[in-house]
Chains A and B, each alone.
Chain A
Amino acid sequence: MFDFFITHFETFKMGVLVSLGLTFSSLFLGLILAAVSTAVLQSRFRLGGFLIRTLNQFLRGTPILVQIYLMYYGLGQFEWIQNSVLWPWLQHPSYCAVLALALNSSAYTTVLLQGAVRAIPNGEMEACKVLGFTPWQMLVRVLLKRAFINIWPAYTNEIIMVFKATSIASTITVLDLMGVTRQLMSETYQTMDCLLIAGVLYLTITYLLSAVLYWIKKRVIVLH
């Protein structure tokens, strides 16, 4: 099995890099979407809040596979999307996968952020206003920082879950680690070798990710 890995090292490496790329792109986009959603939900914009709550219910209550299929196969059905300016991007499976995973992640992260924002005492925001902070400074230095530190333990779980979910992108022909494994399986017929190597790689990366996130927690989060 080891020599199989050495022979196809480049292929597996590409797969791992694509998986990691998908993970971090989705997490980044998802975090931005979640921050926007939380802002809307906290504001007095009732219609926006209702829409976001409905969308989040849908995203949390349906399988990721359905969401990815909807994004990739489903959106292509509509003429107006094919003629729109986004079509060159939406055609590509990787962008669809990132979008779907980002939306899904944002649904769960919004819950976390809402809890964190509510946990910040009102007094802090009033003190900021009194001290003359600009809204931007208030947002970044106090609100976002406190909220992010609050959600970190739960967010590390989310990071690992998104990494595992990127394997589902292989069903729409994205060549992440899972996609590369399937391709090698059909090319070389050495199923057990491919699957075992993929399993070891996923476990190793999950373990390393957890270790890095734990280190971040100890050195950065706890100090604040």
Chain B
Amino acid sequence: MNTLLAAGLMTLQVAFSALALGLLFGVLLGLANTHANPWVRRLAETVSIFLRGIPELLLLFTIYYGGNSLLNFLSPGFPFEISPFLAGCLGLALSFAGYAAQVIAAALKTIPRGQFEAGMALGFSAPQVFMKIVCPQIWQHALPGLGNLWQVLLKDTALVSVLGLGEIMQWAKLEANTSREPFLYFMLAAGVYFLFGTLSQIAIYYKQQAMHKKVSYHV
């Protein structure tokens, strides 16, 4: 990672991988939050509180150092090791899911239960009802909230540099150390993050506009 380009690509890789995993976890947690069974709801609420109450840095450390220590303890010499990339993705995804669950649960609540029952009556299985009927509708409600969480995720990828991953902050630290101009390089890093954030904002804005047009056809 000796160029800004390679470092930037690594940042985007971590961010998008964490987003994919985070959406998966978030949807699962959101579904659990709105489940009929109160025990499932309580479990989901506890998990959410845990994921929201713990600092992201601590979560990353626990998955990386704690996870590797656990693997070593369980079977020394085990070939699999949690890499900083994997720890970063998992940690950021879990943190994302803690907040995304709320957004998705709120979006799910806007869908009348009758739609689910109608879908089942028409012969869809429960997963099919979710994928084909519910999901497209909640996407529009959830997008603003999830868009904000994505911006937070993008900025939190900087924390993975503390685990040693070769992304933008790591590049900036190395360059700053060798060139004795830390202010310049950290400002450059800040600029790159700001650029990513602004591009994301533009993309989400246009996606929202497109969705709004699409949905209003059916009104």
Contact = CB atoms under 8 A, between A and B. Distances in A.
9 contacts: A63-B155, A69-B186, A73-B182, A74-B186, A76-B182, A77-B182, A191-B65, A191-B66, A192-B70
A117 to B, nearest CB: 23
A195 B58 contact: yes
Contact of A65 (B62, B159, B176, B183): B159
Interface stretch (B112-120, B191-199, B202-210): B191-199
B18 to A, nearest CB: 14
B65 A66 contact: no
Contact of B193 (A57, A63, A75, A195): A63
Chain A contact residues: helix, strand, loop or mixed: helix
Interface in B79-115: none
Interface of A: 57-58, 61-67, 69-70, 73-78, 160, 164-165, 167-168, 170-171, 178, 181-182, 185, 191-192, 195-196, 198-199, 202-203, 206-207
A178 B62 CA distance: 11
A94 B162 CA distance: 18
Nearest to B65: A191
A61 B176 contact: no
Contacts of B33: none
B76 interface: no
B193 A167 contact: no
A175 to B, nearest CB: 15
Contacts of A167: 55, 57-58
Contacts of A203: 49-50, 53-54
A62 B157 CA distance: 11
Contacts of A164: 53-56
Contacts of B158: 63, 65-66
Contact of B169 (A57, A65, A78, A199): A65
B180 interface: yes
B186 A73 contact: yes
A78 B183 contact: yes
Contacts of A160: 53
Nearest to A69: B186
A164 B51 CA distance: 12
B183 A199 contact: no
A178 B180 contact: no
A61 B186 contact: no
Interface string B19-57: 000000000000000000000000000000110011111
B54 A199 contact: yes
Contact of A74 (B58, B161, B183): B183
Contacts of A65: 158-159, 161-162, 169
A197 to B, nearest CB: 11
B55 A165 contact: yes
Contacts of A64: 155
B194 A62 contact: yes
Q: Which 5 A-B pairs have the closest CB atoms?
A: A74-B183, A63-B158, A167-B55, A63-B155, A206-B53
A70 B186 contact: yes
B49 to A, nearest CB: 8
B126 to A, nearest CB: 34
Contacts of B169: 63, 65-66, 69
Given A191-B65, A198-B58, A199-B62, A66 B182 contact: no
A195 B66 contact: yes
B194 A178 contact: no
A73 B175 CA distance: 12
A63 B194 CA distance: 9
Contacts of B193: 61-63, 66
B50 A191 contact: no
B197 A171 contact: no
B17 to A, nearest CB: 18
Contacts of A185: 65
Given A63-B159, A178-B57, 7 more contacts: A61-B198, A62-B155, A63-B157, A63-B158, A74-B182, A76-B182, A182-B61
B163 to A, nearest CB: 11
Interface string B169-194: 10011001000111100110110011
